[in-house]
Structure 1
Amino acid sequence: MKVGIDMGTTMTAGAAGTPAMLDLEELLATRLLVQGNSGSGKSHLLRRLVEQSARWVQQAIIDPEGDFVTLAERFGHIVVDADEHTEAALQSVAARVRQHRVSVVLNLEGLDAEMQMRHAAAFLGGLFDADRDHWYPMLVVVDEAQLFAPSAAGEVSDEARKVSLGAMTNLMCRGRKRGLAGVIATQRLAKLAKNVAAEASNFLMGRTFLDIDMARAADLLGMERRTAEMFRDLERGHFIALGPAMSRRPLPLRIGAVETQGRAGSPKLMPLPDTPLEDARELIFKPGEPEPPRMPVRRPSTSASADLLAQLSRPRPFVEPAAPDEPVIAPPAEEPETADQAAERQAAYEAVLGEVLADPEAPYRSIAVLYQDFLVRCRSRDVRGELLELPAFRRKLAAARAGAGQGTEENPAWEKATQVAGTLPEDIQVVFLLLARAALDHLPCPSDADVARACGSRSRGRARRLLTYMEQRGFIATRGGLGNTRSIVLPALGWETALGDPNADDTPESPGGDDLFASV
């Protein structure tokens, strides 16, 4: 079914005032990029598009400023306040959004830039990893896309930038087959990652002033660079459209009116109050009713540097200040750790790691968060957790998620498996160890749910894609059996799991000895 969306009126000579129609079905297949400086009318354009298509297609809006929450009352969008949910919870919410075909606004207002990136990535990941049965058409609108897909590293951590950029890349590059149509808006093309912008086939270019942005806009529209300065002359709400969903040639248009308004709105001039100078001074400096102290509120960030956490958790010896004429006496050197003390510390590590992994949400948290939890628990036990550095913690965590206990680590065969896993990419090491543990103990092949949980996801589809990737790279080989069962061979080790059902449910709470996720 072909549905035309009225975006406004055209401004071409001889045809000015005719409706500017956008083919919604074509848009779902080819995606859209909107560019314009602040105040050019990008948010107005997005609001027009969302309002006109609301009754035809499911929508999800990534809203960093809380500007689109006003759609809820008029068009029935559900507002999801990101600061009230964990990243894992947002993944589950996104999966249910796709399942029940509900239009939503993800309100990221109130979070700092890094937490916005993480929460948006989690939500987009949940949309992307939805089961195949729920791949209904969906318009995914991302305002201020340069925040979530930056072209260069900024003040946020590399981990946050990586997950956010990966989610945006999946949306624009691989989302079409899953029914996801990305509509991204940015103030500056130069700040938006090129591999994200390049996947859009439809463009709406608004007013911009910087030479580099005008040049990129002209390139995307197939215009000569000497004509790029026309973007400086565009009025607010005027855009140049190009793409199969609107026009095969650059088409000037003016965006039409909208039914809802953002909470902030456009700034309007208004006269200052006629307050005498002394009265104004008293209003400012004289306290009125008892006021609570105003302190800056900082939301906890889950991306704090693990190295910094280790330094902060390291106890510092107290040095008594010396008298002015007395030399400073250095603290005594620490005695070397004995073998018994090292063994006792390792046992404490195992116990603390078991407590960390006992949390049901632990499989879905980042390494940095788990390491922070580990260090805090070690300090409460008076154990020097910083001696287990982040790379070693990552390896120990991967082995624990694979179900390896202390007795397993003493097995030479398991030591060989960990050495082979160390040569693989980090994101598949835990899955490789999970399969190796099952093969070593002659257990049934882990199910897709087991594999998904091991790599920190609830999506069986992601687990199947990961196993396919490993098989394509020659890390594993899959053999089918009777009754839709399978076994997996590890060529580097020469091991093979027993036959198992890939569709079986995982049982993380099972207390039995065969639980691949038993805590260490």
Structure 2
Amino acid sequence: MNVAIDMGATTGSAHAMLDLEELLATRLLVQGNSGSGKSHLLRRLLEQSAPWVQQCIIDPEGDFVTLADKFGHVVVDAARTENELTRIAGRIRQHRVSVVLNLEGLDVEQQMRAAAAFLGGMFDADRDYWYPVLVVVDEAQLFAPSVAGEVSDEARKLSLGAMTNLMCRGRKRGLAGVIATQRLAKLAKNVAAEASNFLMGRTFLDIDMARAADLLGMEKRQAEQFRDLARGHFIALGPALSRRPLPVTIGDVETSARSTSPKLTPLPQASADAHDLIFTAAPEEARMPIRRPPPPAPTPTADILAQLSRPRPEAEAVPQSLFPEIDEAERDAQIDAIMVELLGDPDASFRSVAVLYQDFLVRCRIRRVPGEAPALPAFKRKLAVARVGLDRETAASSAWQQALALSESLADDIQGVFLVLAQAAVTAAPCPSDATLARLYGTHSASRARRLLTYFEERGLVVVRLDFRNNRVVAFPDLGCETSPGDPAGPDAMIEERPAAE
């Protein structure tokens, strides 16, 4: 289907027609200094083509949101997460809705990240939704800069990659890029070079005029005409516009931008109390944030060198503490003795960790243990180790020390189960039953105990197997040992009272 868009008038009052189908295949680059009429041109193109093709506008200043009232565009506020913008872009392609991505209010780096996420979502849409979309990017030099600026390298790479995909690989996915820039010198060359249609407006800098003339195939001496172009006047070239450079005057538009060019207005009449108006604070100013004071002046180099050359003052003697120093070894021995005493209670294995911790704190106060008592996570760790009840020789072995290191990667509530299994493997004891593991885990469900073994096995900590008598054996590859066969359905092995460590 052939659709011709009326962009305005050419020399001799003839209509300047733009072939929309050809534009979708060959893309468009618009260049002109600030005030040359680029936004007016883009608005004319969007209004004329709105009934024929889906549109997506990347709008850094919020100028194109007014299209929503007249043509039904959906305004997408970019103040969202990058994942949200990517998913929204995918749904836009699926449902073929024209949108305006409003980047107003974000700083430059946030605008680059948001635009990259949005364009990436449109680019990565499923093949079933590769319908034609006119993607208009205003101020394209912000999203595809030719050199690194003040933004981070990561944000620049993301934005530049998305713009490159749009202009270089977007055609097969139905994405037709229309990019507008104030200066060609600030726009990445690999992005600008993919456009086959050009509309060049008023330009003053020599480097931009020379590059514009080169893109239009004009001689350098003809580049001077770009300085004389009036607002809204452009030189057009390309398969969708004209085979030769053609002056075009952009026609009128139906909508207007929220921000307009400044107009001269007469000053108000001088008030008699102008002095009071300026130097008297209004009530609402009390709620305004206070401006921070300027940073202090830098220290002169001579003063810094003088400070460095001064002799270092002698360190003051540390005053002797009024409180006696805590013997850490004695304190740890007291805490270990309390843990043994706590677990010596026959009902200790059936109490919750919270109840045991309260009992532990009371016993610490009764024994007058110096310093602060261990916090709950540290208590859980000590409880898990104390429940194993190893002798000194086994506790000092390298295999047990490695088991302790492996248990630190697990949650507090399952470290005790893991250490009991490791103790059985290190000492070649029978594998504990499901009932025993369930009680250590604080439950009566044997299936939960079996799921816990599966969790250990999925993390690569253990290998569980059954022998020919259906007894369970748990091997620890990192420790190089395994338990003796044990009946999974056996009774709960009650923890007997352990003697204090020698």
Q: TM-score interval w.r.t. the shorter chain?
A: 0.5 to 0.7
Alignment of 1:42 onto 2:24: no
Q: Distance in 2 between matches of 1:47 and 1:183?
A: 12
Judged with a 3 Å threshold, the aligned counterparts in structure 2 of structure 1 residues 343 and 264 are, in CA distance, closer, same or farther, namely farther
* Contiguous gaps of at least 5 residues in structure 1: 298-323, 332-338, 352-403, 412-520
Q: Distance in 1 between matches of 2:241 and 2:107?
A: 36
The match for 1:26 is 22
Report the Cα offset of residue 326 of structure 1: 3.7
Q: Distance in 2 between matches of 1:405 and 1:57?
A: 56
Q: Distance in 2 between matches of 1:35 and 1:48?
A: 15
Match of 2:273, SS state, is: helix
Match of 1:9, SS state, is: strand
Q: Distance in 2 between matches of 1:4 and 1:194?
A: 29
Alignment of 1:285 onto 2:279: yes
Q: Distance in 2 between matches of 1:273 and 1:282?
A: 16
2:277 corresponds to which letter in structure 1?
A: L
Match of 1:130, SS state, is: coil
Q: Distance in 2 between matches of 1:346 and 1:44?
A: 67
2:52 corresponds to which letter in structure 1?
A: W
Q: Distance in 2 between matches of 1:221 and 1:96?
A: 38
What is the total number of aligned residue pairs between the two structures? 322
Report the Cα offset of residue 82 of structure 1: 0.5
Alignment of 1:73 onto 2:60: no
Superposition pairs of residues 90-109 of structure 1, within 5 angstroms: 90-109=85-104
Judged with a 3 Å threshold, the aligned counterparts in structure 2 of structure 1 residues 184 and 281 are, in CA distance, closer, same or farther, namely same
Q: Distance in 2 between matches of 1:97 and 1:325?
A: 68
Report the Cα offset of residue 281 of structure 1: 2.8
Superposition pairs of residues 41-190 of structure 1, within 5 angstroms: 41-83=37-79, 85-190=80-185
Alignment of 1:259 onto 2:254: yes
Match of 2:287, SS state, is: coil
Report the Cα offset of residue 341 of structure 1: 12
The match for 1:198 is 193
Aligned-residue CA RMSD (Å) = 3.2
Judged with a 3 Å threshold, the aligned counterparts in structure 2 of structure 1 residues 296 and 106 are, in CA distance, closer, same or farther, namely farther
When Rg is computed on C-alpha atoms for both structures, the one with the higher figure is 2
The match for 2:314 is 327
2:64 corresponds to which letter in structure 1?
A: F
Deviations 1:378-398 (A, max 9, x none): xxxxxxxxxxxxxxxxxxxxx
Q: Distance in 2 between matches of 1:111 and 1:68?
A: 16
The match for 1:221 is 216
2:283 corresponds to which letter in structure 1?
A: E
Alignment of 1:294 onto 2:288: yes
Deviations 1:286-315 (A, max 9, x none): 122244533499xxxxxxxxxxxxxxxxxx
2:224 corresponds to which letter in structure 1?
A: E
Q: Distance in 1 between matches of 2:401 and 2:278?
A: 62
The match for 2:338 is none
Match of 1:65, SS state, is: coil
The runs of 4+ residues in structure 1 deviating greater than 3 Å are: 290-293, 324-331, 339-351, 404-411
Deviations 1:418-473 (A, max 9, x none): xxxxxxxxxxxxxxxxxxxxxxxxxxxxxxxxxxxxxxxxxxxxxxxxxxxxxxxx
Q: Among the aligned pairs, what percent are the same residue?
A: 73
Q: Pick which of 45-54 and 279-288 moved more.
A: 279-288
Q: Distance in 2 between matches of 1:342 and 1:282?
A: 79
Judged with a 3 Å threshold, the aligned counterparts in structure 2 of structure 1 residues 125 and 284 are, in CA distance, closer, same or farther, namely same
Alignment of 1:8 onto 2:8: yes
Q: Distance in 2 between matches of 1:330 and 1:162?
A: 56
1:293 corresponds to which letter in structure 2?
A: R
Deviations 1:343-392 (A, max 9, x none): 999987888xxxxxxxxxxxxxxxxxxxxxxxxxxxxxxxxxxxxxxxxx
1:58 corresponds to which letter in structure 2?
A: Q
Q: Distance in 1 between matches of 2:242 and 2:276?
A: 61
Judged with a 3 Å threshold, the aligned counterparts in structure 2 of structure 1 residues 18 and 93 are, in CA distance, closer, same or farther, namely same
The match for 2:298 is none
* Contiguous gaps of at least 5 residues in structure 2: 292-310, 319-397, 412-455, 464-502
Report the Cα offset of residue 265 of structure 1: 1.2
Deviations 1:167-197 (A, max 9, x none): 0000000000000000000000000000000
